[in-house]
Amino acid sequence: MPIIVNVDVMMAKRKMSLNELSEKVDITLSNLSILKTGKAKAIRFSTLEAICGALNCQPGDILEYVEKSNNKPL
């Protein structure tokens, strides 16, 4: 997937645990883990807003677009 989720990077910078973020954002540990590992298919703006508020960051600090390489062997 070309969208990379950097929640774990921001959590490390803020020295915040998964449990602490889960409580601040009011999201289950399992849903936060799915998001953190990049397995989520979508995220609500309200959830993104809450995560940004808890981590004191911008959405671009959490989400990153990486273009897929089209280098296929001939």
Mean pLDDT to the nearest integer, 64-74: 73
Placement of tokens 């803020």 in the chain? 14
For 8-65, the pLDDT digits (tens) are 999 999 999 999 999 999 999 999 999 988 899 999 999 999 999 999 999 999 999 9
10 Å Cβ neighbour count for 23?
A: 12
Q: Domains (ranges, CATH) in the chain?
A: 3-65 (1.10.260.40)
Q: Which of 68, 30, 26, 29 is nearest to 51 (CA)?
A: 26
Cβ distance 41 to 26 under 8 Å?
no
pTM of the model: 0.84
Does the pLDDT value for residue 70 go beyond 90? no
Mean pLDDT to the nearest integer, 63-73: 76
**Rg for the chain, CA atoms, rounded:** 14
